C-alpha cells in the first residue's frame, strides 16, 4: 500500500507486530509489515544482543522497539534502589501469592529469590534506566520507537527527533491523543479495551473513529494505528475504513510458531474463546487484559489484597507466573490451571498456530477479501 | 444496496433503528433504513395505537417490532401477580433508592404508588403477556420481529414463520449464535459489549467476525447484523467489511430531534465522552450499559444492595428514574445529576442533534466515504 505511514517508515503493509520475541519481529518486517520489539524487561546488554540478532535477520527491512516510560510512577525521580523495592513488598501480597501456588501444589519457597531476576522492569521504568535502553537502541537502525504507557518525556521525543526516528505512543482516550499530539509524537496507537496488556475501557470500534476525529479537530495529520482485538485482515480493513492508518497487533503473534510464549499457554490460547480474558489490575497495578485462569480468578475474587502500584505489583506476580508457566510446560497439572499471559479478546479468533510471516500474508489476503465485500456492495 | 437482507426485508439500506419512539421508527423506514419499535414496556392497547400511527406515517415502507421473551425469568410459568411482585421488593432496595433521591432533594414518598405504572414490563416478560403483544403486532404489516434477550420460545418462532415475518435475535457470544440458529431464527444481531442497554462482554470488533465465523461453521447462511458502538456510516462499513449484513443501532437515535428522550438526558448525551457510560446490573438485574450519573455511581459504589433478578430490579429503578428525568427536564438540579438512560460508548461520537432521517442520510454518505478510503488504498 502506498500510504503516508508506509512511506514514513519504509514498509509495504501497515501491520505492526508488537512482540517480545526477536524472531517474530524479524519475520514480520521481512514479510512487509513492521516488527516492534518489546524492550521494557531487557537489560541494555540483552537489548544489544536482541537488536544485533534482528539486524542480522531482517534483510535490511525496517523494525522498531517499544519501551514504557510513564509520566507518573511510584518512586520516580528517586534513585532506583532494588533492595528497597523488594523490601517494600507487603507481607499480605507475598503470602497470598505463596498460598495460591501451594494450593495448586506449586512450591513457593523460592519466590523471594526469583524476584531479584525481575528488577530490570523496575529499572527500565525509571527515566535513567530507559535512557540506557535508548542509548543501545539508537546505535541500531531502528525506524520506530513506541511508548506503551502515557506521554513520553520531552527528552525521549527530542532525542528521537534528533535521530530521525518517529515516535509512536499508545492512547486509550481522545484526551490522551490530544496530549500526545501536543507533546509532539508522530504516530498514535489507539488501543481499545479489548486489547491484551494495558488497555483502557473504550472499545476499538468507538475509540478509533473518536481518536481520528480528535486528531482532525486538533488540526493535526498524525496517523492513527488501531489496536485492540485485531487478529485478522478483515478487522484491519474495518479499522482502516474508520480512518486508521494501519493496525497495531500484539496477541496474534503469541501463538505463532516463532513466539516464545510458554507452550502450555499457547495451547490454552488456541482453545480460548473471546470470553476467556479478563481486564484486571492484578498483574501490573494498572488495568491489563489477560487470559483468564485460576490465577486471575483468585486475584479477581475479592478475597486477596488490592494490587500494588506499578512497578511493585509486577515484582509480586512476574516471578510467580514465570515459575508457573515453566512448570505448566513440564506437564504440572496445578501449574497448568494457574498459567496465564496477556492476551486480548481477539484470542477467540486465534485457533491455529502459524508462522509469523504467514500471518502477515493471511492479513493481506483477508484484507483484500474484506475490501471486495464492500466493493460488491457499492459497485455491484 | 442490493443485498440478501435488503431483499428479505424490502429495504434499501441495511441500517436498523431500535427505538421506543414511533416517530424515529417511521422516519428511519421512510429514509430507506428499517425502524424497529421497542414494545416491551407497552400494553397491547398502547402497541395497537403506536403501530396504527406508524402505519399512517411510514409511506408503506417496512418496519419491525422488538420484544423481550427471555428463556429464564423470575416467576416464569406462574400466573403473573402484580401485587405479589410489588410486595416481594425488599425493603433494602426501596430504602436505598429513596435515600438516594432524598440526598439530591427529590421527594421519594410516592415511589410505591409510581411502581404500579411499571408493571407492564413484568407482564410482557411472561409468555402470556408477550403473546398478547404478538396478537396486536401480527395484525399490522410488520416485516421483522426481534427478541432482545435469549432464544425466543418455539411458539414465537413458529407463529412468526406462519405469518411470514422474519425473526431476529440478539446474541453476545458465538455460543448464543449457534443456539439461535438451532432454534430457527432468521437474522442474528451480534451485540458487542460497548452497546447501550443489555450487552455482553465481548467487543463488537471481535464479536462480529466471531459470530460470522460461527454461522459459516454451522453451515448456516443467516445474516449477522452488527450492534454495539455504531453511530456512523464508517463504523457500519467497518462492520460490513468484517462480514456483517448491516448495522443495528439504538443509541444514535436517542439524541435525534424526534426522540422522546428526556431533554436533560439528551443534553448530557451530547456532552458525554465514550468513557461516560457504565455496564451495570443495577438498572434491570442483568448487565446493561448506561450513561454514568450520580445514580449509577451510587449503585456501583458497593454501598448499596445487590441488584434483584429481572424483572424485579426494574420495578425499583424505572419509577424512580422516570420521576428523576422528568424533574431534571424541569431544571431540578439534584435530579439533573441523577438523570440517566441506556446508551452505548458511541455516545462519545454523538455531538449534535439531527433529524432521524438525516442520520440515515449521513450514514449513507459516511459509508461511501469509508469505502472510498479503502478503494484508494487498494486501487490507488
pLDDT in tens, A99-134: 999 999 999 999 988 887 777 666 666 666 778 888
Q: Which of residues 208-227 of A touch B (CB under 8 A)?
A: 209-210, 213
What is the per-residue pLDDT across A34-88, written as a single tens digit (0 to 9) for each? 999 999 888 899 999 999 999 999 999 999 999 877 554 444 445 556 677 788 8
Question: Over the range A182-191, which residues count as b (16 or more CB within 10 Å of their CB) and which as e?
Answer: ebbbbbbbbb
What are the two backbone dihedrals, phi and then psi, of residue A29, each rounded to the nearest 5 degrees?
Answer: -65, -45
Give per-residue pLDDT as tens, A29-49: 999 999 999 998 888 999 999
Strand duo A15-19 + A34-38: pairing: parallel
CB atoms within 10 A of CB A82: 14
What ipTM was assigned to the predicted interfaces of this complex? 0.94
Q: Distance between CA atoms of B280 and B89, rounded to whole angstroms?
A: 19
Q: What is the Cα Rg of chain A in Å? A: 20
pLDDT value for B206: 98
- Residues 6 or more apart whose CB falls under 8 angstroms from that of A154 comprise A183
Using an 8 Å CB-CB cutoff, list chain A residues near B274.
Answer: 173-174, 202, 206-207, 210
Give the Å distances, CA to CA, from A363 to A32, A342, A367, B204: 11, 22, 6, 19
Q: Which residues pair with A100 in a beta bridge?
A: none
Q: The C-alpha cell of B276 is what?
A: 461516560
User: How far is Cα B65 from Cα A244, in angstroms, rounded to an integer?
Assistant: 36
Angstrom distance (rounded) from CA A58 to CA A357: 12
> DSSP 3-state assignment of B302?
coil
* Contact yes or no for A242 and B230 at CB 8 A: no
Neighbouring CB atoms inside 10 A of B16's CB total 29
Residue in the block written with cell 523488594: A86
| Residue A263 confidence (pLDDT) above 70 | yes
**Range A273-276 contact pairs with CB under 8 angstroms and sequence separation of 24 or more:** A273/A347, A273/A348, A273/B173, A273/B174, A273/B175, A273/B210, A274/A345, A274/A346, A274/A347, A274/A348, A274/A349, A274/B173, A274/B174, A274/B202, A274/B206, A274/B207, A274/B210, A275/A348, A275/B173, A275/B200, A275/B201, A275/B202, A276/A347, A276/A348
Q: Determine the residue of chain A that is closest to B214 in CA distance.
A: A349
Residues of A with CB below 8 A from B238's CB?
205, 237-239, 241-242
Res B71: pLDDT: 57
Burial of A9: CB neighbours in 10 Å, binned 0-12, 13-18, 19+: buried
pLDDT of residue B77: 47
Contacts of A205 in chain B (CB under 8 A): 192, 194, 203-205, 228-230, 235, 238-239
Asked if A235 and B205 come within 8 Å (Cβ–Cβ), the reply is yes
Burial zone of B79 (CB within 10 Å; 0-12 exposed, 13-18 middle, 19+ buried):
exposed
pLDDT at position B75, please? 46
What single string gives the DSSP state of each residue in B319-332?
A: HHHHHHHHHHHTT-
- B329: exposed, middle or buried (C-beta count within 10 Å: 0-12, 13-18, 19+)? middle
- State the burial class of residue B78 (Cβ atoms within 10 Å of its Cβ: 0-12, 13-18, 19+): exposed
Give me the residues of B, 254-293, that contact A with CB < 8 A. Answer: 273-275
Note the pLDDT tens digit of each residue in A217-241. 999 999 999 999 999 999 999 999 9
CB B251 within 8 A of CB B196: yes
Query: If chain B, 380 residues long, is cut into consecutive pieces of 10 residues, what is the mean pLDDT of each piece?
Result: 94 98 98 96 93 98 88 49 79 96 96 79 64 91 91 90 96 95 97 95 97 97 98 98 98 97 96 97 95 97 92 92 95 97 98 98 98 91
Least CB–CB distance from A228: residue in B205, B273, B348:
B205
Buried b (16+ CB within 10 A) or exposed e, B353-373: bbebbebbeebbebbeebbeb
Q: Which domains does chain B have, with CATH numbers?
A: 1-73+125-251 (3.20.20.70)
Task: Report d(CA B354, CA B258) in Å as an integer.
Answer: 9
The pLDDT, as a whole number, for residue B74 is 43
Q: How far apart are the first and last CA of chain B?
A: 24
Chain A within 8 Å of B236 (Cβ-Cβ)?
A: no
Determine the Cα–Cα distance for residues B239 and B205; give it in Å rounded to an integer.
Answer: 8
Closest-CA residue to B338 (of B349, B350, B326): B326
State the pLDDT at residue B88: 82
What is the average pLDDT score of chain A? 92
Which are the contacts of A135, defined by CB distance < 8 A and separation ≥ 6?
Answer: A44
Amino acid at each position: 500500500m502506498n500510504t503516508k505511514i508506509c512511506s514514513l517508515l519504509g514498509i509495504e503493509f501497515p501491520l505492526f507486530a508488537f512482540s517480545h520475541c526477536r524472531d517474530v519481529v524479524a519475520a514480520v518486517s521481512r514479510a512487509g509489515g513492521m516488527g516492534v520489539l518489546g524492550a521494557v524487561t531487557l537489560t541494555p546488554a540483552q537489548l544489544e544482543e536482541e537488536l544485533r540478532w534482528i539486524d542480522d535477520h531482517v534483510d535490511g527491512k525496517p523494525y522498531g522497539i517499544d519501551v514504557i516510560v510513564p509520566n507518573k510512577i511510584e518512586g520516580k525521580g528517586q534513585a532506583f534502589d532494588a533492595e528497597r523495592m523488594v523490601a517494600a513488598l507487603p507481607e499480605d501480597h507475598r503470602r497470598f501469592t505463596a498460598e495460591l501456588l501451594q494450593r495448586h501444589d506449586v512450591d513457593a519457597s523460592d519466590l523471594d529469590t526469583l524476584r531479584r531476576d525481575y528488577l530490570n522492569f523496575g529499572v527500565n521504568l525509571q527515566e535513567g534506566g530507559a535512557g540506557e535502553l535508548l542509548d543501545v537502541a539508537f546505535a541500531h537502525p531502528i525506524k520506530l520507537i513506541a511508548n506503551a504507557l502515557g506521554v513520553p518525556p520531552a527528552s525521549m521525543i527530542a532525542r528521537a527527533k534528533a535521530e530521525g526516528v518517529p515516535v509512536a505512543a499508545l492512547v486509550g482516550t481522545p484526551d490522551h491523543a490530544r496530549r500526545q499530539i501536543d507533546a509532539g509524537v508522530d504516530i498514535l496507537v489507539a488501543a481499545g479495551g479489548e486489547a491484551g496488556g494495558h488497555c483502557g475501557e473504550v472499545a476499538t470500534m468507538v475509540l478509533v473513529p473518536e481518536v481520528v476525529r480528535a486528531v482532525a479537530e486538533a488540526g493535526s495529520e498524525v496517523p492513527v494505528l488501531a489496536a485492540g482485538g485485531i487478529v485478522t485482515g478483515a478487522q484491519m480493513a474495518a479499522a482502516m475504513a474508520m480512518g486508521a492508518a494501519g493496525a497495531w497487533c500484539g496477541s496474534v503473534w503469541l501463538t505463532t510458531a516463532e513466539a516464545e510464549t510458554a507452550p502450555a499457554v499457547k495451547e490454552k490460547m488456541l482453545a480460548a474463546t473471546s470470553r476467556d480474558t479478563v481486564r484486571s489490575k492484578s498483574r501490573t497495578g494498572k488495568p491489563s487484559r489477560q487470559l483468564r485462569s485460576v490465577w486471575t480468578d483468585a486475584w479477581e475474587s475479592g478475597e486477596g489484597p488490592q494490587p500494588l502500584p506499578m512497578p511493585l505489583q509486577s515484582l509480586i506476580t512476574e516471578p510467580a507466573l514465570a515459575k508457573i508457566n515453566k512448570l505448566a510446560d513440564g506437564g504440572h497439572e496445578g501449574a497448568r490451571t494457574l498459567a496465564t499471559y496477556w492476551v486480548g479478546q481477539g484470542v477467540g479468533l486465534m485457533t491455529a498456530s502459524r508462522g509469523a510471516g504467514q500471518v502477515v500474508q493471511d492479513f493481506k489476503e483477508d484484507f483484500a477479501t474484506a475490501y471486495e465485500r464492500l466493493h460488491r456492495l457499492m459497485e455491484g
